[in-house]
Structure 1
Amino acid sequence: MLVRRFTQLVLGTLLLASPATSIPAAAEQVLKVGSTPTGIPFTFLDTKTNSIQGVMVDLITEVGKDAGFSVQIGPMQFSALIASLTSNKIDIIAAAMFITPARKEVIDFSDPIYTYGEGLVVPKNDTKDYIGQDDFKGQAVGAQVGTAFVDALKKSGQFSEVKAYDTIPDILRDVNAGRLKAGFADYPILAYNLKQGAFSDVRIVESYKPTIIGSVGIGMRKGDSELLGRINTSLAKLKANGTIAKILDKWGLKAQAL
């Protein structure tokens, strides 16, 4: 009898000490992030790992660590990002997306992260030092669909045609092949692509003065003020401790004031 009672006492003690009876920790929030596979160095598909990498991926990952959420990065076309966000397919946009008044009517943005303007690319055998868009008046030019550049170029009314391309590499291919006289796109992305040497017959026109200046930000659904506050607080911390500068430097970009 004593043996049985002793055995029951030992078993009861083990059950009380068992991890199975402890209260489980709250699961970490996982947010779906939409990024583009062709916006190097901001976002791009790394074929070695078959994953999206780049400035904005590194940044949103670090923001998540500080703000208390993890991220699940999904690739999609630039033109599909906002629709995917508003239809709840994703929770965050982390790409080379300018904060514009028109976009702010549809979604919310974080504080600015990086500011730049459009770059101009032409065939390498075209050695003219172009200064502005007026130099191509009446001609056909190219830009990426869904970007602030393609809309502004169309509204200017200066060009015979503004060809809309799905990706920036598509623009570079047509310029490289001589099918397009001039292409406009994000300067850092153009410069990074050309630095890799894939488009040997294209040059970026350093004399060109950009007119469409914008700042990249992280996109969220309209009215998601709690998430917006967390992200902006984390961005301020990451700027102060030098993390943002390190991320930019890793991808060949210079740190700027937020």
Structure 2
Amino acid sequence: MPRKNIVACLVTAAALVAARANAQDTLTVGITTTGVPFTFVDTKSLAPTGAMVDLATKIATENGMRPDFQISAFPALIPALTTGKINLISAAMFVTEKRKEVLDFSVPVYEYGEAMFVRADDPTNYSMQALRGEIVGAPIGSAIADDLKATHLFGEVREYESIGDIMHDVKLGRLKAGFADRPIVAYELAQRPELGVRLVPGYQAMHIGQVALAVDKGNETLLARVNATIAKLKQNGDLSKIFAHYGL
């Protein structure tokens, strides 16, 4: 084979090896922008940020990988994972038996329940029973929406793409009350009191959910790496620091 052809083959082979290495070194992570303070986009840098973003970044770097964050709506995260568009979900996603059918979850990293919120000028601290027959809102595809429907209390449980949209409709009177992840709602109201809604004190969450990262069903190698890193971060205190940085 002529020297020129040999060199060309070597260059091509090197490029293929480099491309494969780069692909292996990239951890594609699915997040949503509506999960403040777990996952959101910084308004100044326009970069993904939040507790679960920092955690995924730490997991990637600890395993010699580069995180590549892919932003999507919350309901699109699981389809993106199961079709191979992403390798990992790192969001405010609860572990549920239904999700376990198609996903493998890491060990839990955080837990919390949902909050109820109403119009800021509505003085009543409602119980669930007091909302019988009313129209309420919850995030689409969430365990919260499923739990609300299972009570058979409400006239309608409307599902929304974002918590901000739920707040907007509560403020306008289209919903009697809204339900969403308590840390997210509390953070939003602390940052933006003009949203026109308030938390209902004394509300007891229907379900305290455990937040975990998720990989595609059967991806045991990645799951083992994720769990090993989480164990390390728990032991050295870095996991607590990540969540505390965002007031969690």
Q: Is 1:154 matched up with 2:149?
A: yes
Aligned to 2:59: 63
Task: Name the SS of the counterpart of 2:126 in structure 1.
Answer: coil
Distance 1:242 1:190 in 2: 26
Q: Are residues 1:35 and 2:31 paired?
A: yes
Deviation at 1:31, TM superposition (A): 1.3
Alpha-carbon distance in structure 2 between the residues aligned to 1:154 and 1:211: 12
Residue aligning to 2:108: 112
Distance 1:116 1:199 in 2: 25
Please give the alpha-carbon distance, in whole angstroms, between the structure 2 residues aligned to 1:199 and 1:176. 10
Q: Report if the CA contact (8 A) 2:112-2:208 is conserved.
A: yes
**CA-CA distance at 1:199 after TM superposition:** 3.6
Give the C-alpha shift of residue 181 in structure 1: 1.3
Query: C-alpha separation between the residues in 2 aligned to 1:139 and 1:163?
Result: 11
- Of structures 1 and 2, the larger Rg is shown by 1
Q: Is the 8 A contact 1:113 1:216 kept in 2?
A: yes
8 Å Cα contact 1:172/1:199 also seen in 2: no
Letter of the 1:192 counterpart: Y
For 1:82-128, what per-residue CA distance to the aligned partner results, in whole angstroms no more than 9, with x for missing partners? Answer: 00100111110011000000000111110001101110000112222
1:174 aligns with 2:169: yes
Q: TM-score, normalised by structure 2?
A: 0.88
Q: Which residue of 2 aligns with 1:6?
A: none
Q: Map of 1:127-166 to 2, 5 A cutoff? A: 127-131=123-127, 133-166=128-161
Match of 1:216 in 2: 211
Residue 126, structure 1, aligned to residue 122, structure 2: yes
1 CA distance for matches of 2:190 and 2:109?
Answer: 23
Post-superposition offset of 1:201? 1.9
- Whether the 8 Å contact between 1:141 and 1:163 is mirrored in structure 2 is yes
Of residues 185, 192, 205 in structure 2, which corresponds to 1:190? 185
Give the number of equivalent residue pairs.
Answer: 230
SS of the aligned residue for 1:141 comes to strand
Query: What code does the residue aligned with 1:106 have?
Result: V
Deviation at 1:29, TM superposition (A): 1.1
Q: Distance in 2 between matches of 1:112 and 1:74?
A: 22
Q: Structure 1, residues 128-154: CA drift from partner, whole Å, max 9, x if none?
A: 2234x2221111100010110111111
Does residue 89 of structure 2 align to residue 78 of structure 1?
Answer: no
Which residue, 82, 87, 93 being the options, matches 1:97?
Answer: 93
Does 1:234 pair with 2:232? no
**Partner SS, residue 39 of structure 1:** coil
Counterpart selection for 2:247 from 223, 228, 252: 252
Letter in 1 for 2:104: D
| 1:62 Cα deviation after fit | 0.7
* Paired letter, 1:105: E
TM-aligned CA deviation for residue 47 of structure 1: 2.4
Displacement of 1:175 = 1.4
Distance in 2, matches of 1:149 and 1:82, equals: 17
Worse-superposed segment, 185-194 or 27-36: 27-36
Inter-partner Cα distance in structure 1 for 2:234 and 2:194: 35
TM-score (norm 1): 0.85
Residue identity over aligned pairs, in percent, reads: 46
Structure 1: give runs of 5+ residues left out of the alignment: 1-23, 254-258
Secondary structure class of the residue paired with 1:185 = strand
One-letter code of the match for 1:220?
A: V
Query: Could you tell me how far 1:244 is from its partner in structure 2?
Result: 0.9
Matched, 1:205 2:238: no
- 1:33 touches 1:94 (CA, 8 Å); kept in 2? yes
Counterpart position of 1:243:
238
